A and B are shown apart, each in its own frame.
Chain A
Amino acid sequence: MNEFLRTMLFLPEQASSFAEQVDQLHYFVIITTLIASTAVGMGAIFFFWRYRRRVQDQKTPHVEPTVLIEALFVAVPLLFFVSWFVMGFKDFITLSTPPREAMDVYVMGKQWMWKFAYPQGPNSISTLRVPADRPVRLLLTSRDVIHSFYVPAFRIKQDALPGRYTQTWFTATRPGRYPVFCAEYCGLTHSGMIGEVVVLPGPEFDAWLADQQRGLADRQDAQDVRAERVEPEGSMVEQGRVLATSQGCTRCHSVDGSNHIGPTWLDLYRRRELTTEGKAVEADEPYLTESMMDPKAKVVSGFDPVMPSFRGRLSPPEVAALVEYIKSLRSDRVVLPTPRRGKL
């Protein structure tokens, strides 16, 4: 039944856990719409015939609705619409709430391509490799204008904004290749800003990732539709470590727990801090990013507001690399950062 309706409605295959959920509501809404328009249409046509004009100045009775009829006219559509809202919003909350164990991938849209960066692995252009049956969280931003990351087969879409991170997540349920479109008009080659999600079975994905981490940069996948460039300098964490020195962060921030001019980075990720204005903040990705761009916004209590802004001095991938580096600095020595559930 699902397959029949899906094909009739020209919907793409359902390749994510979310797609199957969403399509159920889709069918409900569209079928109701078709029934309602047909009913109205048929009702009207019946009336045309039954009450056609027989004499030129025919008189007609004055008919007024009863309170019951008026109440039904209001209640029936309202009931349908509100129930659709409730079902839809429930699904939307699911979509807005990535699970704790989701694997992060940084996505950057720029005119006119998509770039992907894995915390534990390489960067790539246009091709996003993910494991099947494991939740993946996408952290999206844009280098220039607003883009929108759209995977029809997953039924997901999220705008990528300059200067900010937005997020979405999915669990791909079938291995395969699925197109990615840009869905927010962004200029000349908006329609050429195509990408691809390659869903690999779990073990294959792990093997691929391990390969990349070992720096086997020159291997080209013969099945690749688009060339994929792999940065050989290693993981984002490593890039972040290099940047922390080259950009001068370590002049004020230690990585060993000692407080210097600025708070220590050890165990900083998701640490609860108090600001000089008495507000409690959690040092999550947005806070860390904000501190680099606008350091005076939320200064940790006990420190002076002397940190300079790195706006314009760090590109988004570099900011992301520093964030990943900070996330890796844990005194309990877990190697891979485990992103937790939560909104950005």
Chain B
Amino acid sequence: MEARLAHHFRAIETQRHAERLGMWLFLATEVLLFAGLFCGYTLYRYLYPETFKLASAHLDVFLGTVNTVVLISSSLTVALAHHFAHRDRSRMAGVLLFVSVLAGLAFLGVKAVEYTHKFEEGLLPGRYFHAEGLTAPGASMFFTVYFLTTGLHAFHVVVGMGVLVWIGVRAWRGEFHANHSMPVELGGLYWHLVDLVWIFLYPLLYLV
């Protein structure tokens, strides 16, 4: 299949440029979406520094690190997928995209494990918070911020996985080649953003 020049674009290069610009603008809106939550994190960290440190210690750094490695690797496989798609190896691209989806699943699986732990220990947001030993005000706030940010992020992981599945199926069917690999590039960009958000969340929530 060829990349089809839409009737309102004058040249295929312009169309590609437009598609890329559109995706970058959309990624900018996603950044702004998370920005509000990062502001909230900053404010409450500033108000309750000690409590946040204590509460953060209740997160499992090992699992968080595993997730970070998984997500970064999946970004690599997605980038490789575009590399292959661009070099007429659509099937290979498809394989790599499915691997990335599996990585996403693994990420969500680890998160599910972490969330279950939190439920068991009572480390939940707001009025559901009932943990022993963490009584200072601001403790429940840490977990409110934790669940809201990782929850919103996980939602984006799911959306990203959906995008990758859709593109992966098309790649497996041999659709992409040197003159037509835009969907892989754009879908890849979205996945990279999802990864990037996590790269900021991980140290802020788990490490400091």
Q: In the complex, is A directly touching B at CB under 8 Å?
A: yes
Number of interface residues of B (CB under 8 A): 7
- State whether the Cβ of B19 lies closer than 8 Å to any Cβ in chain A: no
- State whether the Cβ of A294 lies closer than 8 Å to any Cβ in chain B: yes
- The reply to whether A309 and B135 form a contact with Cβ atoms under 8 Å apart is yes
State how many angstroms separate the Cβ of A293 from the closest Cβ of chain B: 7
Closest-by-CB residue of B relative to A163 is B137
Closest-by-CB residue of B relative to A308 is B135
B contacts, CB < 8 Å to A = 48, 50-51, 135-138
- The reply to whether A297 and B48 form a contact with Cβ atoms under 8 Å apart is yes
- The reply to whether B138 and A294 form a contact with Cβ atoms under 8 Å apart is yes
State how many angstroms separate the Cβ of A96 from the closest Cβ of chain B: 22
A-B contact pairs, 9 of them (CB 8 A): A293-B137, A294-B136, A294-B138, A296-B51, A296-B136, A297-B48, A309-B136, A309-B137, A311-B137
CB neighbours of A294 from chain B (8 A): 48, 136-138
CB neighbours of B135 from chain A (8 A): 309
Interface set, chain A 156-180, CB cutoff 8 A to B: none
> Which secondary structure dominates where chain B touches chain A?
loop
State how many angstroms separate the Cβ of B45 from the closest Cβ of chain A: 13
Measured CA separation A296–B137 after assembly (Å): 9
CB neighbours of B137 from chain A (8 A): 293-294, 309, 311
Measured CA separation A9–B135 after assembly (Å): 55
Measured CA separation A41–B136 after assembly (Å): 62
CB neighbours of B50 from chain A (8 A): 296-297
CB neighbours of A311 from chain B (8 A): 137
Measured CA separation A124–B77 after assembly (Å): 70
What is the 8 Å Cβ interface bit string for chain A, positions 282-297, against chain B (1 contact, 0 not)? 0000000000011011
Measured CA separation A137–B116 after assembly (Å): 51
CB neighbours of B51 from chain A (8 A): 296
CB neighbours of A296 from chain B (8 A): 50-51, 136
State how many angstroms separate the Cβ of A297 from the closest Cβ of chain B: 7
What is the 8 Å Cβ interface bit string for chain A, positions 266-307, against chain B (1 contact, 0 not)? 000000000000000000000000000110110000000000
CB neighbours of B48 from chain A (8 A): 294, 297
Measured CA separation A16–B51 after assembly (Å): 45
Interface centre among B48, B136, B137, B138 (most CB of A within 10 A): B137
Starting from the known contacts A294-B48, A297-B48, A309-B137, 4 additional A-B residue pairs (CB-CB under 8 Å) come to A296-B51, A296-B136, A297-B50, A309-B136
Measured CA separation A309–B48 after assembly (Å): 14
State how many angstroms separate the Cβ of A23 from the closest Cβ of chain B: 37
Measured CA separation A309–B135 after assembly (Å): 9
State how many angstroms separate the Cβ of A101 from the closest Cβ of chain B: 33
Closest-by-CB residue of A relative to B54 is A296
Interface set, chain A 192-244, CB cutoff 8 A to B: none
Closest-by-CB residue of B relative to A298 is B50
CB neighbours of A293 from chain B (8 A): 137
CB neighbours of A309 from chain B (8 A): 135-137
Instruction: Identify the 5 closest CB pairs spanning chains A and B, nearest first.
Output: A294-B137, A296-B136, A311-B137, A296-B50, A309-B137
Measured CA separation A296–B138 after assembly (Å): 11
Measured CA separation A293–B135 after assembly (Å): 12
